[in-house]
Structure 1
Amino acid sequence: MIINILKDKPTKLFIILSGFFVANALIAEIIGVKIFSLEATLGFAPANLMILGDPYSFNMTAGVLLWPVVFIMTDIINEYYGMKGVRFLSYLTVILIIFAFLVFYFAIQLSPASFFVTMKVKSGVPDMDAAYGQILGQSSYIIIASVIAFLIGQLVDVFTFHRIKEVTGEKKIWLRATGSTLISQLIDSFVVLFVAFRLAPSIYNPDGNEVWSMGLVLSVCVINYIYKFTVAILLTPVIYWVHGMIERYLGPEKAGEMRLAAMKR
């Protein structure tokens, strides 16, 4: 039975795309705890863009490095497996992200071996157990905000993608792929910041973190969106390249059947 499933090209393709989709989303959540400077990484001076009267630079979570891959996977899956395919993977990914952080939580609670705590002192880490907990034990409301933003963004993306395709037909892949990403990521960027740093801390804030002002939320949202907007545009050729690979793999007839079936809700 397994051999027969793997011989079916559409099924095998869905498994491959799903693996990249889920893996990249999960890894992005884990590495997102690190905040990096885009300008310093590229060797440039801080941008200091004036937004709502204050200067801001491109200081973002490391998770943004992998979200472009999730964007591409979303649009490709949408193209060949439709709204149901993307929704299924989005719900599955949310469940797996929550499961992963629950496992991290219980792993952090385990009593460390005495040598584990001091094993990296010479490398500049005085307490490995504390470092382990800080890296994997992200604040609960940030995780919740990220999951909510991801799910809303995905649902908006798939809806927008199909609306654009209904108007343009099979032409203009760039418009439906890039257009849906730009709209969904604008919403995603705002939701994750609003929930994580304004709404949730004002309701439940065990860490005593300061509640962000709406102006700060909007300003950081603009910085994040400028980055995502730029990456989405730059990735347009990649979408065509992946699309071409899939067309050759499936064959024109099978690919056409799948794209037609994907448009049926």
Structure 2
Amino acid sequence: MKNSISPVFMLFGILFTACLLISNILAIKIITIGSLAVPAGVIIFPISYIVNDVIVEIWGYKKARFVIWIGFAMMILSNVMYQLAIEIPAAPFWTNQDSFATILQNSPRIGLASVLAYLSGSFANAFIMSKMKVMSKGKNFSLRAILSTLVGEGLDSMVFISVAFIGIIPAKELLMMVLAQTFIKTAYEIVVLPVTILVVNKVKKVESETAFDSNISYNPFKLNEV
């Protein structure tokens, strides 16, 4: 595998991070899908898992781990900048300070829930996708993509909803919210799976070789192994 970082890999890394940051803003609004109430972030956040699958499939788990940590750093940076912008006094003629703060200011509990959910779900998705690739010798991409998303999105939803709302929302409703979000996000993956497969095949041709992890250890803290 080439050591240099390709422009296509950079593009997917940027797309992954953009989806993450956009979803954090959209998640402030609660929408209904049928009879289910879910954060509006569900309309874009699953795309980050699809991109994660593509990165693992083409460039391997180590590169996916690197992108996940970059996304984490950008999440922290954006939240710091949001808070700084809120604290800076507004111009006398600007009257939207309260609305601005309402949209961009998360409580410490929500912020912690977002970070923990993102890290646990993203790493689980990438690790399972990559491990299954080794076990299947690169076959059964569709099955690997769906199962890794099911576990990753399930873990993400469980961690976020538990940390953010336990003690506030009844346990039964929390469980329903976790199941609903996991179902919707996994269904999203299944619906767009033909597009994902098409993208993987196109990128493989562009990159000329596929990354294949033969020795994967679940240690997300080794940033130098990319």
TM-score by length of 2: 0.88
Post-superposition Cα deviations, 1:171-193, rounded to whole Å, max 9, x if no partner, equal 21101111111111111111100
Residue among 140, 148, 164 paired with 2:116: 148
Matched, 1:72 2:50: yes
Shift of 1:166: 2.2
Q: Partner residue of 2:136?
A: 168
Indicate the SS of the match to 1:116: coil
Post-superposition Cα deviations, 1:105-141, rounded to whole Å, max 9, x if no partner, equal 1111121222211xxxxxxxxxx11000000112221
Shift of 1:221: 0.9
8 Å CA contact retained: 1:104, 1:136: yes
Residue among 193, 196, 205 paired with 1:239: 196
Counterpart-to-counterpart distance in 1, 2:46 and 2:119:
16
The Cα RMSD (Å) is: 1.6
Counterpart-to-counterpart distance in 1, 2:62 and 2:76:
21
Q: Partner residue of 1:24?
A: 19
8 Å CA contact retained: 2:16, 2:51: yes
Equivalent AA in structure 2 for residue 232 of structure 1: E
Shift of 1:82: 1.5
Q: Partner residue of 1:83?
A: 61
* Structure 2 residue runs without a partner (length 5+): 217-226
> Which structure is larger by alpha-carbon Rg, 1 or 2?
1
Residue among 181, 184, 201 paired with 1:224: 181
How many residue pairs get matched? Answer: 213
- How does 1:53-202 map onto structure 2 within 5 Å? 57-117=35-95, 128-198=96-166
* Structure 1 residue runs without a partner (length 5+): 1-7, 40-56, 118-127, 203-210
| Identity in percent | 27
Shift of 1:159: 1.8
Counterpart-to-counterpart distance in 2, 1:263 and 1:76:
17
